[in-house]
Structures are given as C-alpha cells and as structure tokens.
Structure 1
Amino acid sequence: MDSLHVQLRKGVLDLCVLAVLSRGESYGYEIASTLVNAVGMGEGTIYPLMRRMQTDGLVVTRLEESSSGPPRKYYRLTALGQAVFETHRRDWRAFSGAVDTLLEDLT
C-alpha cells in the first residue's frame, strides 16, 4: 500500500511543482515546504527536479539577497513551463476523472 502511495506522489511531483509556480514566482524552500504540507513530498527530491526543470527550459531563476541568510534562488515558469503545466493539468484531470469513474462503478 505504501509503495503505491509513494509511486503516485513521485508520478505527480512535476505537476505539483508546476502548479505551485503557476501561482507566481517562489523560492526553493518555499516550494519544498508547500509540497511537504500538501502531498508529503520530501525536500530532498525537490532540488534535483528544479535543476532538471531549469535545464529543460520550464523555469528560469534569479538570485535575491536575503536578510536572514544566503541569497535565495527564485523560480518562475517560462512560457514553455506554463504550456507544459496546462497540458499536464488537463491530462491529470482526464486521468483522475477516469479512475474516479472506475472506482465509483465498483462500489
């Protein structure tokens, strides 16, 4: 059972990060905290994903000085990132709706 839960979270992590960034620019720790609270995804998995998204052209970054420590790296969706988010969101809604329909039919 736990294995399915872990696999489901890993499978939608990209979509979750894109969803957070679709609401506006955010820094790494803030993204990680949001995902930990929302879906229980560990902080360690976020940063490699963010680097991949940057390499893939889905996000751009900027550094901003912080009064409480090192500079913060802020992430923002690119036009490509926004388009990928919209596609993934549409696909997720269709898929999850189909699964919900199957589950309802079984009860």
Structure 2
Amino acid sequence: MVGHLDTRTGPAVFAGLSTLKPGGLVEALRADGRTAVYTVDAVRQYEKARFPSQEVYGARKRPELRLITCGGVYDRQSGGYQSNVVVFAHLTRTTDPAHRV
C-alpha cells in the first residue's frame, strides 16, 4: 500500500508510518469483512535513487504487507521528499467481523 505522508494543508494517511516499531500491529479491513492483522518486522528508509525494488516488491513464501510513503528531507526545488519509508510486515492472523481486534 502506498500513501501520502502529508499534503500542503497538513498530515496525510501515512503521517505516522515512520513511528511504527517491530512487533507492532497493522490491521487492514478486507473486502470480505474480515480483518487481516499484520506484525511489523522492520521499518526502513531508502533514498529514492537507491530504492531496493526486489526487496520491497519481490515474491515471498508467506503473506506479507508493505506500507510505503515519503520520508527524509523535503527538497523544495524538486517538490518532493528524497527518501521513502517502507514498513515490512507479515500476516499474523485474520479475524471474522464478529471478533474484531
């Protein structure tokens, strides 16, 4: 999932992404009404010029989630951030609608 860090008017959906810690939980509501619960494995920052596409997008042997936003220093000249923050997480469980976490 990719989301904005901020906008011209303030924080956006992934404003707090870089504050997640290994062991933390991320919940995602699925289309079937169940909630997928992911455990954070790592939070890393990469320069956009050295973004490790294979590490982030490559195939895995288990269900995993990547949350991606901008990070690092904001470059006014280019109008964007110089880095990306990536949260690496793996599926821990799913819950049915009657038993939400």
TM-score by structure 2 length?
A: 0.31
More helix by share: 1
TM-score by structure 1 length?
A: 0.30
The structure whose RCO (Cα within 8 Å, separation 6+) is larger is 2
More strand by share: 2
